[in-house]
Amino acid sequence: MGFFGSLFGSDQRADLKKANKKANAALAEGYGEQSQRYDQAYDVYDPYAQQGQAANAFYGNALGLNGADAQNQSINTLTSNPLFQGQLGQESNAMARLLNARGQSGGGLANMAAQRVFQQTAGNWLDRYRDQGQQGLQVAGAQSGLRAAQGDNAMGYGATRAGQATNYGNAMAQARNIGINNLTGLLGAGIGGYNALYNKPKV
């Protein structure tokens, strides 16, 4: 650092290198930080996405979309659930009381009513799995949005780095010409001074 360093541009180039290094470090730190935050946000959603996928698979199996074996297994899982059994019992008892009050507690009508209660109860429970699967789809959409934003930020980071590299290259090229420009200026100033001194108009 000194007169000759400034005169020939070496000081300016050194300053540019330091500034470029600091800028690159700051950009890399910022990009790494935001990428980590996006990953954390994605992971927060992940349990809900997995639940939704499981519920959607169960719902598809119960509808018979994946074969009879998968359907039977899902129906057995549903009907063996104590909560389902408790609700089915309540609905069945309510229907039985209604039929008894009407004097219709026996025969085919009672059997049809029992089947209807079972189907309605099972349908209500399957709707819960369907709704859970739809929630999972919404969560998957949110996760997809996070990944898309991450990709956009990565592209923006790359574009910023490219722009910075271009600016740095241009600045370094200008700094390499500082010495020539300064010498040319000094030479021009010297010639001008010489001409002014020795070419004074005679009085």
Distance (Å, rounded) from C-alpha 44 to C-alpha 38?
10
Q: What digits encode the pLDDT tens for the residues 105-139?
A: 666 677 787 788 888 888 889 999 999 998 888 88
Comparing 88-102, 136-150, 181-195, the range with the smallest average pLDDT is 181-195
User: What average pLDDT score do residues 86-112 get?
Assistant: 76
Cα separations in angstroms, 110 against 44, 84, 92, 100, 197:
50, 21, 10, 10, 127
Q: Where in the chain are the domains?
A: 3-191
- Spatial separation of the C-alpha atoms in residues 23 and 21, rounded to whole Å: 5
pLDDT in tens, 161-181: 777 777 777 676 676 655 555
* Tens digit of each residue's pLDDT (9 = 90 or more) over 4-53: 444 444 666 676 777 778 777 877 777 778 888 888 888 888 998 999 99
Place of tokens 């369907």: 130
Per-residue DSSP letters for 53-83?
HHHHHHHHHHTTTT-HHHHHHHHHHHHT-HH
The alpha-helical segments, DSSP class H, found in the chain are 3-8, 10-62, 68-79, 82-102, 108-176, 178-198
| Band (88; pLDDT cuts 50, 70, 90) | confident
Q: At what angle do helices 68-79 and 82-102 cross, to 10 degrees?
A: 70
